[in-house]
Structure 1
Amino acid sequence: MQDFKGKVIAVTGAASGIGLATAQLLFSVGAKLSLSDRSPIPLEKATQALLAAHPTRDKQYIMTAEVDVISSAQITSWIEETVKRFDRLGGAVNSAGISAVQMGKGKIRDLADDSWALCVGINATGVFYSMRTKLNAMINGRSIINLASLASLIAVPRATEFSASKHAVVGLTKTGAREEGPTDIRVNAVAP
């Protein structure tokens, strides 16, 4: 695996799941981390677990922030603080999301407005806000990874809002890659 020593990586959804696993891997290979999640207690527990697993690394290499990705202002404040503390932003993983298990209970005809707004807000608009803010904080030779899903590649009946939101992540990723390629900022997605 590539050496990430000293590289500053911002991770959304870092308190659990893929976000936490990503933070664990990046911390193990020397990255400085700026971790965010909307749940502060699990985020603090995740930070303590990272430090316990890597006793030679100090807390100065981890910054945490309570951030709800549906708030552009919270994301902007978090990334500004990240750059202020670490002097740069070298990469980002946008893994905050709401899953199909938590959503997807009915057909399009039955979908409630609030269910649509919540899922698309977190999974699509949150990625947009995160990408925009992080791209504006980055200089050449950086990278953003967005978490899509198998549902971003196929139709998933009874998971309309989830499938649509993850299709949007792929669209944002492809557009970001085309726009930022000339500046040597890579934008990619993974679809677990």
Structure 2
Amino acid sequence: MVGKIKQQHERTFDGKVVMVTGAAAGIGRAAALAFGRAGACVVVADTSVDGGHATAAMIVEAGGKALFVQANVARAAEVEALVDKTVAYYGRLDCAFNNAGIEEESQPLADCEEALFDRIIDVNVKGAWLCMKYQIRQMLKQEGGGAIVNTASVAGLVGAPTQAVYSASKHAVVGMTKTAAAEYGHAGIRINSVCPGVINTAMLTRALVREPSREKRLKHLHPIGRFGEVSEIANAALWLCSDQASFVTGHQLTVDGGLTAI
């Protein structure tokens, strides 16, 4: 049923420490809750204090373990501190879902302002790079390697008219994911990305408020006939981090209702 995607996660993450960025709402919150239900100790990271605390509280109320850390992924000192706090609190870092990102663009490339370009690249590209940098450094120090999933997008696989900068940022995430996977596979660190289609999130709501006529056209692009749900992306991230995906690295898992199939 649309809007009520059933989730069934065995406690496959018992004893694992998982970091989720952009976890105050949307896909990040859905993933943090799913990791918690699967038995993980979850580090909830976001710039939003209220939203982050709320997500952590939801995990605890459901019987899980969670720690909220306020962090801006575009700032190196804050990302380093985020990883340090994770290790100080839980002792290690096994998995990370680097989901924090922004989309504030809906205009032709030639009309985009430099400040907007810098803001999108700062969060989506630099943020993913900084997270991987400090997460990988920690995983190299400990036994057992680790698993990292980055949120890319179908806009990182194909062009996205009126979203040139966002598309460029997600293409960069795909490129970094492949490269990091090749560099650190020998150390037992698997690195993949998930590439969502159009998902029911606040980001989508904002886009449709700016341009309501897009809704019908966007749904038509998905052969499955609807937008995706945050739980469906969360399920994909959990699988990529799980032992079931033990031979999967450098992969871009497209979860798009068939959008890129045609």
**Smaller-chain TM-score range?**
over 0.9
> Rg larger in 1 or in 2?
2
Whether 1:10 aligns to 2:19 is yes
Cα deviation for residue 74 of structure 1 reads: 0.2
Deviations 1:137-163 (A, max 9, x none): 113431000000010000111101100
Whether 1:88 aligns to 2:88 is no
Residue correspondences, number:
184
Task: Give the fraction of aligned pairs with identical amino acids, expressed as a percent.
Answer: 34
Range that drifts further, 31-40 or 131-140: 131-140
Q: 1:37 aligns with which of 23, 46, 67?
A: 46
1:156 corresponds to which residue? Answer: 160
**Aligned AA for 1:71?**
R
Classify the secondary structure of the residue corresponding to 2:102: coil
Cα deviation for residue 67 of structure 1 reads: 0.5
Could you say what the CA RMSD is over the residues aligned between the two structures, in angstroms? 1.1
In 1, Cα distance between equivalents of 2:160 and 2:137? 34
TM-score with structure 1 setting the length: 0.92
In 1, Cα distance between equivalents of 2:191 and 2:180? 6
In 1, Cα distance between equivalents of 2:43 and 2:58? 15
Classify the secondary structure of the residue corresponding to 2:180: helix
Classify the secondary structure of the residue corresponding to 1:68: coil
Whether 1:76 aligns to 2:77 is no
Whether 1:144 aligns to 2:148 is yes
- Which consecutive residues of structure 1, in runs of 5 or more, have no partner in the other structure? none
Cα deviation for residue 104 of structure 1 reads: 2.2
**Aligned AA for 1:11?**
V
In 2, Cα distance between equivalents of 1:23 and 1:6? 15
Classify the secondary structure of the residue corresponding to 1:191: strand
TM-score with structure 2 setting the length: 0.68
In 2, Cα distance between equivalents of 1:90 and 1:49? 22
In 2, Cα distance between equivalents of 1:188 and 1:76? 21
Whether 1:114 aligns to 2:115 is yes
In 1, Cα distance between equivalents of 2:47 and 2:13? 26
2:67 corresponds to which residue? Answer: 63
1:126 corresponds to which residue? Answer: 127
Whether 1:23 aligns to 2:32 is yes
Q: 1:168 aligns with which of 162, 167, 172?
A: 172
1:187 corresponds to which residue? Answer: 191
In 2, Cα distance between equivalents of 1:171 and 1:97? 16
